[in-house]
């Protein structure tokens, strides 16, 4: 039996189920009651945060994790970058959740119609630092292109491959790997469908 933090008594499986249930509520427009009171804020301030999941997802304004998983203050630790790419800073943020906050589940959440993936497929020379993002997505796009896939299907498959690549990169972290090996943390990929509101977990 793995040791859990006193305030974080959910297992990785239970944490995933909470997200699945929350997304069902969102899809059905049957939202749970959320305590957004000053009492709740003061409790979170005094006792600290114990988020049951960390979610690395895209900055896209249509993909807010707290809303699409129907969660409240203190429930999920969110890291957002365009294209949900993983750099040293976002890696450190996930490690902080896992190591300091004892968060049992890490979700990498891609989504349908991702602008960062589409920009990478379109290529060219993006202005400013946008190229730093597309450069990180490019290997996933090239992988799908090499299978002879193009157009809309290319964008959707590349988004999924990009999530898989990010999961692989997260597993290279000694901090995260140690927790996975002890059974205290699980990593899972998922995709948010803008059309239906559903989050489809990859495993």
Between 165 and 185, CB nearer to Zn ion: 165
Q: Which of 114, 119, 133, 155 binds Zn ion (CB under 5 A)?
A: 114
Task: Using DSSP, state whether 191 is helix, strand or coil.
Answer: strand
Cβ of residue 200: shortest distance to Zn ion, in angstroms? Answer: 16
Cβ of residue 182: shortest distance to Zn ion, in angstroms? Answer: 33
CA–CA distances in Å: residue 109 to residues 145, 163, 174: 22, 7, 22
Between 16 and 191, CB nearer to Zn ion: 191
Q: Which of 15, 19, 55, 58 binds Zn ion (CB under 5 A)?
A: 58
Cβ of residue 91: shortest distance to Zn ion, in angstroms? Answer: 19
Degrees (nearest 5) of the Cα angle 59, 172, 156? Answer: 40
Q: Which of 22, 57, 60, 97 binds Zn ion (CB under 5 A)?
A: 60
* Element at 190 (helix H, strand E): strand 186-192
Cβ of residue 166: shortest distance to Zn ion, in angstroms? Answer: 13
Q: Mask of contacts with Zn ion, 148-167, x by CB under 5 A? A: --------------------
Distance CA 188, CA 190 (A): 7
When computed from its CA atoms, the radius of gyration of the chain, rounded to whole angstroms, is: 17
Between 116 and 188, CB nearer to Zn ion: 116
CA–CA distances in Å: residue 98 to residues 27, 66, 80: 28, 19, 16
How many residues interact with Zn ion (rule CB under 5 A)?
Answer: 4
Distance CA 153, CA 158 (A): 8
64: tokens are: 């807010």
Q: Mask of contacts with Zn ion, 72-111, x by CB under 5 A? A: ----------------------------------------
Contact 160/147 with Cβ under 8 angstroms? no
Positions touching Zn ion (CB under 5 A) are 58, 60, 114, 116
């Amino acid at each position: 039996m793995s040791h859990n933090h006193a305030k974080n008594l959910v297992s990785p499986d239970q944490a995933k189920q909470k997200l699945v249930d929350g997304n069902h509520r969102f899809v059905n427009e049957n939202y749970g009651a959320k305590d957004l009171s000053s009492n709740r804020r003061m409790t979170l301030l005094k006792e600290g945060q114990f988020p049951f999941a960390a979610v690395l997802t895209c900055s896209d304004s249509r993909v807010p994790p707290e809303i699409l998983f129907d969660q409240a203050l203190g429930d999920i630790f969110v890291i957002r970058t365009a294209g949900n790419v993983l750099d040293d800073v976002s890696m450190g943020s996930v490690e902080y959740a896992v190591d300091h906050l004892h968060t049992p589940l890490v979700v990498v959440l891609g989504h349908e119609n991702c602008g960062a993936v589409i920009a990478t497929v379109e290529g060219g020379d993006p202005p400013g630092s946008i190229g730093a993002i597309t450069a990180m997505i490019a290997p996933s796009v090239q992988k799908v292109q090499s299978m002879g896939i193009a157009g809309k299907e290319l964008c959707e498959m590349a988004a999924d491959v990009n999530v898989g690549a990010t999961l692989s990169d997260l597993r290279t972290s000694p901090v995260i790997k140690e927790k996975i090996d002890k059974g205290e943390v699980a990593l899972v990929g998922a995709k948010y469908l803008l059309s239906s509101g559903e989050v489809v977990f990859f495993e």
